[in-house]
A and B are shown apart, each in its own frame.
Chain A
Amino acid sequence: MKTAAISLPLLLLLSGCGGVQSALDAHGQTAILLKSLIIFVVATCFVVWIIVMLVLIWSLMRRRDGQAADDRSLHRRITIAVSGAVAATALIISGLTIASFYTTRGLDPARDPDMTIRVRAQQWWWQFIYEDADPAQSFHTANEIHIPVGKAVRVRLESSDVIHSFWVPSLAGKQDLIPGRENVLTLRAERPGVYRGQCAEFCGLQHSHMALFVIAEDEESYRQWASAQRKEGLQPREPEIVAGKALFMARQCAACHTIRGTEASGTTGPDLTHIGSRHTIAAGLLENTRGSLAAWIADPQTLKPGNNMPIVPLSADELRQISAYMDSLK
């Protein structure tokens, strides 16, 4: 039974299968380095465990015939064995420490990154600010970032309330976001893909629903996406969407959310200028469809209890119009 239980993770490790958010499914420069360290350390420890277990079984099961021959020489032999084992422990430990040290050296943040993204974590969503030397070129988004493949992206980590932890396992190890301090992490995706991340430091009520997505794509797609994000929110033409926009501005929505190009300029909630272009809403809670947008707006407190978005009383028509407007903000 034990062996089966032990070999299971090894199989998993070897096959490298992970999932949408797995340290073993490494696609970032750092994560790949960490994965090889993990495999090395786990394999070493597994061998050590097997040896200890063999000795244990031997000690328990060995045949004991009669009296021990010479107690003195026996004692000396055991002493040598135990000392040898302690020395081996020290050696293995030193080896692992050195391996750890060299991996750490490989992880140091890139000196001149290709781009910088500022993260402000809040209860319970991620605010991303794409910084640019030209302030007009910088823009905000939430819970979802796009990065170009093969570029070193510096992520500046800040928190606006409690401690959070930024963790996209397929790309890099985690790093805390601490109020009053700033941390830095370098992401470098080696392959295009959608990588899920999640807050890894307990941050209160909805810690479980604080996910983010990193979309790594080729340079060209990234550039297109970024220039689309810099634009102001689309001006609607369809009557339903026009009505939705008017409602958004008239009701409580605009007090907390920003849609660039309109009078909505609240900063308490996520920037919604291009909400329609994101894959998920509510920090990874729901897939972004018109239906889920409507469900979220209608009753955010049932879907994610305790989050900071209130239930705004809306009629069925109003709900449809607002969700249509949200959906149109590509």
Chain B
Amino acid sequence: MTTERRSSAATDVDLDDAELDRQLDRTWAGRTSFWGAIAAVDHKVIARRYIVTAFVFLILGGMLALAMRIQLAQPEARFINADRYNQIFTMHGSNMMFLFAVPVMEAMAVYLVPLMVGTRNIAFPRLNAFSYWVFLAGGILLWISFALDTAPDVGWFAYVPLSGPEYGSGKRADVWAQMITFTELSALAVAVEIVVTVLKQRAPGMSLDRIPLLVWSMLVMAFVVIMAMPAIMFESSTLIMDRLVGTQFYNPAEGGDVLLWQHLFWFFGHPEVYIIFLPAVGMVSTILPTFVQRPIFGYLPVVMALIATGVLAFGLWVHHMFVIGLPRLAESFFTASSMAIAIPAGVQIFCWLATLWAGRPIFKTPLLFVIGFIITFVIGGLTGVMVASVPFDAQVHDTYFVVAHFHYVLIGGAVFPLIAGIYYWFPKMTGRMMSERLGQWSFWLIFVGFNLTFFPMHILGLQGMPRRIYTYQPEMPWGGLNLFISLSAVILFSGFLVFFIDVARSWSAGRPAGQNPWNASTLEWAMNSPPPPYNFRRIPVVDARDPLWCGSDELPVASGLRTDRRELLISSVVEALPEARESSPRDSVWPFWAAIATSIMLIWSIFSPWAIVWGSIPIAITLIGWFWPKGIAEDES
């Protein structure tokens, strides 16, 4: 059956490049209308939406941070009242974790992984589109609730009983819990796509030991998502059930337990940090070699360290609960395991330093951010070692010391590499370079502003200032440092402002970038910038870890894929030997409708348990529409 079809179908074998580009473009490009945009499934389009949306949430979250800094600049300020402040810090945390950090890292994966492994689209592109719409709905839900003064006010950790049925009146905690469901649903969907893309869609010859380090980090991140996110989804659902239908999970009087919440939350919450951090170190391991023009030192140890981090991530959740009165044995175990995570982190840092030492650094903006990352992340890592000690933590837990620590880890350790990554891949995504001058400005402003803002918080914490307080009394000796921090925050914000101005300007007026402006080694630089909808004219064949640094001017490729349907190559898991030609789904509006149906069901279920029953019907209908074969070329086999 397939033999006749194949002979009649159009393949790329005897076409010249221009004709091939034309035919591929016709097959892969999306429609330009409004509904065409809604129906898009191109991983680059989706990822760009994800990134832009996540950065919008970053700006909004940053505004909240600024508002909190204004409030805290002086004792007993009345700029924001207690109720609003509690909403704001909850929003800031939830927004930054669930609507910015995780989505933006996954979005970078969605953009880069298919390009780096040499395929034409991510696995399950419609699921990808669905995940974006669901994520957007979750974000809008949270921010509308904030506008309506019904935003969650229980902290991004939402400890029961404060968030539980008795003390969390109204729907505020439910909004938080359901926002979690939205974002985790999208995160899980993306994780599935990344795993399958990395395992099955690599270019021929890209065996496991030739995968770019960014892809390795994204693969480990995806597995951490898969293992960790079910915990928080289970938890947010049980919270809503406790609040809506009266289950007793967190009611000590009926056999429940409030600490169950904390165990479940941190079983997810600690890996969450690595979900954000692993992609960031992957970016560092990718950017650094380019700017020293030398392959990374110690590829294998770095991969091992990534995997070890992913595994260890699940063994140290209890260090967030060191003051709940645990048995000593458990405390000692979790101290040791929390300390142990420093070893894989150390391995990576030493490998980066060795790479820097052995190469010749080119001080462009991305490298500056990477160096800033190393400086600040080492501080964050060392303070992490400090809080891993139970007795040390007894004094600094839930103080500004911890606030300083995790901002060093999350901003220094993840946002710096992310900005480095934006500077680095912006030319690929838009075809235009960002400004080097503004880049340097933004680096120095962000770096200096960041350290001036967050370093003094360590001292405040040791001086006894607890977290999550909307104000403090004039007799406390915290006023001066708080004012200093608030003023420094302005420097930090101006740095981000310069960055965003640079992005906006460069997007429309930047210098054209060309294929490989940085002379980098990975596959995403082998095509035009921005990449065409089909990514690769012909799928590359890989025979080295750094395919573009082989000294040859020619890229070995595979030919024989069809051009009349969306087709890509499936390869084996370990050796990446070609196994099959697989079709990739066409654009479809069904994921959008499915996301709408899912959103309706999820939001409705805050108010009535019957939403699960009746709301599932539209979801089932949209899913059937999504998967029902349309008798098109992609359906052939």
Contacts and interface: CB of A to CB of B under 8 A. Distances in A.
Q: Do A and B share a direct contact in the complex (Cβ within 8 angstroms)?
A: yes
Interface of A: 1-2, 5-6, 8-9, 12-13, 18-24, 31, 33-34, 37-38, 41-42, 45, 48-49, 52-53, 55-56, 58-60, 62, 64, 68, 74-75, 78-79, 81-82, 85-86, 89-90, 93-94, 96-97, 99-101, 103-104, 107-108, 123, 161-163, 165, 167, 169, 172-176, 178-181, 183-184, 196, 198-208, 211, 284-285, 305-306
Contacts of A97: 335-336, 339, 389
Given A19-B476, A96-B385, A86 B398 contact: no
A123 B161 CA distance: 12
A45 B408 CA distance: 15
Given A85-B350, A202-B155, A305-B81, A9 B458 contact: yes
B467 A202 contact: yes
Nearest to B83: A205
Top 6 A-B pairs ranked by shortest CB distance? A173-B394, A180-B252, A100-B389, A208-B469, A21-B464, A59-B357
Contacts of B379: 49
Contacts of A78: 297, 354, 357-358
Contacts of A64: 360
A85 B346 contact: yes
B351 A82 contact: yes
26 contacts: A2-B451, A9-B462, A12-B462, A21-B464, A21-B476, A23-B464, A37-B389, A37-B392, A45-B382, A49-B379, A52-B349, A56-B374, A59-B353, A60-B371, A82-B351, A101-B335, A162-B162, A163-B161, A175-B323, A178-B324, A178-B325, A204-B167, A207-B466, A208-B469, A208-B472, A306-B82
Contact of B82 (A9, A75, A305): A305
B297 A82 contact: yes
B266 to A, nearest CB: 14
Contacts of B331: 104
Contacts of B332: 101, 104
Given A24-B462, A205-B83, A56 B356 contact: yes
B253 interface: yes
A37 B253 CA distance: 39
A208 B470 contact: yes
Contacts of A200: 323, 397-399, 466-467
B86 interface: yes
B426 to A, nearest CB: 24
A107 B386 CA distance: 17
A199 B86 CA distance: 15
B20 interface: no
Interface of B: 81-83, 86, 153-155, 159, 161-162, 166-167, 252-253, 257-259, 297-298, 301, 323-325, 328, 331-332, 335-336, 339-340, 342-343, 346-347, 349-351, 353-354, 356-358, 360-361, 371, 374-375, 378-379, 382-383, 385-386, 388-399, 448, 451-452, 455-456, 458-459, 462-464, 466-473, 475-477
A255 to B, nearest CB: 22
A296 to B, nearest CB: 14
A290 to B, nearest CB: 20
A89 to B, nearest CB: 4
B340 A41 contact: no
Contacts of B252: 179-181
A52 B349 CA distance: 9
A242 B617 CA distance: 71
Contacts of A86: 343, 346-347, 350
Nearest to A9: B459
A180 B258 contact: yes
A104 B328 contact: yes
A175 B395 contact: no
B86 A96 contact: no
A86 to B, nearest CB: 6
Given A37-B389, A174-B394, A205-B83, A5 B378 contact: no
Contacts of B159: 162-163, 201-202
Interface of B is mostly: helix
B395 A23 contact: yes
B342 A93 contact: yes
Contacts of A8: 456, 459
Nearest to A100: B389
A173 to B, nearest CB: 2
B357 A42 contact: no
Which of B82, B371, B375, B466 has most chain A Cβ within 10 Å? Answer: B466
Nearest to A107: B391
Given A59-B353, A104-B332, A200-B466, A89 B342 contact: yes
A103 B398 contact: no
A60 B356 contact: yes
Given A23-B464, A41-B392, A163-B162, 7 more contacts: A2-B375, A60-B361, A161-B161, A175-B325, A179-B258, A202-B162, A205-B153
B392 A284 contact: no
Contacts of A99: 389
A176 B323 contact: yes
B545 to A, nearest CB: 15
A50 to B, nearest CB: 10
A22 B378 contact: no
A56 B477 contact: no
Contact of B350 (A22, A38, A82): A82
B325 A38 contact: no
B476 A20 contact: yes
B323 A174 contact: yes
Contacts of B473: 211, 284-285
A109 B297 CA distance: 50
B462 A174 contact: no
B466 A205 contact: no
Contacts of B339: 93-94, 96-97
Contacts of A23: 395-396, 462-464
B464 A93 contact: no
A259 to B, nearest CB: 27
Contacts of A6: 455
A174 B82 contact: no
A100 B346 contact: no
Nearest to B257: A180
Contacts of B385: 41, 45, 93, 96
Contacts of A42: 386
A169 B395 contact: yes
A32 B265 CA distance: 33
A239 B476 CA distance: 39
Contacts of B357: 55, 58-59, 62, 78
Nearest to A21: B464
A93 B324 CA distance: 24
A45 B469 contact: no
Contact of A89 (B257, B343, B475): B343
Contact of A22 (B82, B342, B358, B464): B464
A176 B468 contact: no
Given A12-B459, A97-B336, A161-B161, A199 B466 contact: yes
A38 B455 CA distance: 17
A55 B351 CA distance: 12
Given A93-B340, A100-B392, A198-B466, A203 B325 contact: no
Contacts of B464: 18-23, 167, 169, 196, 198
Contact of B162 (A196, A204, A208): A204
Given A82-B354, A165-B323, A179-B161, A5 B452 contact: yes
A93 B471 CA distance: 37
A100 B371 CA distance: 31
A33 B360 CA distance: 48
Which of B253, B342, B463, B475 has most chain A Cβ within 10 Å? Answer: B463
A206 B468 CA distance: 10
A7 to B, nearest CB: 11
B463 A165 contact: no
A222 B340 CA distance: 47
A24 B389 CA distance: 17
Given A174-B323, A305-B82, A100 B162 contact: no
